């Protein structure tokens, strides 16, 4: 689900970035294609508001993927790789409120739109696979106990989503380093080979 396939990549990118800014500023209820077009400095002609929301969600997800890749560069071992994911997610919550604003709007609409729900399911399945691959390597080296990879990946995502949302809404809740340490401690305990649940 992307904006008009016939439009050029530069124009599509302008529109997606403008959609993100509009969502962050005004929310989905006040999102209009006229506002997006004006902000993107392109002619109106976009019709599918849900497709724009999906494209915005996919864009901020790709941005987060890049942050994780930068943070994880050179990380050896499952624990360090997981630490990179934690730090990238929590930094995004503190430094880029637009990310979570887009997802909050996206999740609300995905409850009522099958196409958006499918995009959400695919995004979470992909995230669980990526985290699961890290956990599988950790399991193979003895860093991570024998766990269901899909279940453990869901736990990791649940913790990160929850902490990130709280930091997005209340930046005074705790410092970023403290939030990262708490997440690392909780996950280390949950995943520790010595913890046989």
CA distance linking residue 69 with residue 103, whole number of Å = 20
Q: Domain locations in the chain?
A: 58-191
What is the pLDDT confidence band of residue 194, given thresholds at 50, 70 and 90? Answer: confident
CA distance linking residue 48 with residue 44, whole number of Å = 12
Tokens, residue 169 = 């809404």
What is the pLDDT confidence band of residue 190, given thresholds at 50, 70 and 90? Answer: very high
Give the pLDDT score at 32: 78
Q: What is the average per-residue pLDDT within 33-45?
A: 76
Give the pLDDT score at 176: 92
Q: What is the average per-residue pLDDT within 162-189?
A: 92
Give the pLDDT score at 5: 41
Tokens, residue 57 = 């969600």
Give the pLDDT score at 52: 86
Decide: pTM greater than 0.85: no
For 58-191, which CATH superfamily applies? Tetracycline Repressor, domain 2 (1.10.357.10)
Q: What is the average per-residue pLDDT within 19-46?
A: 79
The angle subtended at Cα 120 by Cα 126 and Cα 97, nearest 5°, is 95
CA distance linking residue 92 with residue 98, whole number of Å = 9
Q: CB atoms < 10 A from the CB of 24, how many?
A: 17
Give the pLDDT score at 193: 86
CA distances to 18, 46, 54, 84, 173 from 107, in Å: 19, 22, 10, 25, 24
Mind listing the pLDDT tens digit for each residue in 127-150? 999 999 999 999 999 999 999 999
């Amino acid at each position: 689900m992307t904006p008009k396939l016939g439009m050029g990549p530069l124009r599509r990118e302008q529109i997606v970035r403008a959609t993100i800014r509009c969502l962050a500023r005004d929310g989905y209820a006040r999102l209009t294609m006229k506002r997006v077009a004006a902000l993107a400095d392109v002619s109106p002609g976009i019709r599918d508001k849900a497709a724009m929301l999906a494209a915005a969600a996919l864009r901020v997800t790709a941005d987060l993927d890049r942050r994780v890749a930068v943070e994880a560069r050179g990380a050896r071992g499952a624990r360090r790789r997981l630490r990179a994911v934690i730090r990238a997610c929590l930094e995004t919550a503190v430094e880029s409120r637009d990310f979570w604003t887009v997802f909050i709007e996206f999740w609300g609409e995905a409850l009522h739109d099958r196409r958006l729900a499918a995009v959400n399911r695919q995004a979470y399945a992909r995230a669980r696979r990526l985290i699961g691959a890290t956990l599988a390597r950790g399991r193979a080296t003895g860093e991570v106990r024998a766990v269901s990879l899909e279940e453990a990946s869901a736990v990791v995502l649940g913790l990160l989503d929850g902490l990130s949302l709280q930091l997005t809404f209340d930046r005074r809740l705790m410092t970023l380093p403290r939030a990262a340490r708490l997440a690392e401690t909780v996950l280390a305990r949950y995943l520790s080979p010595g913890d046989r649940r």
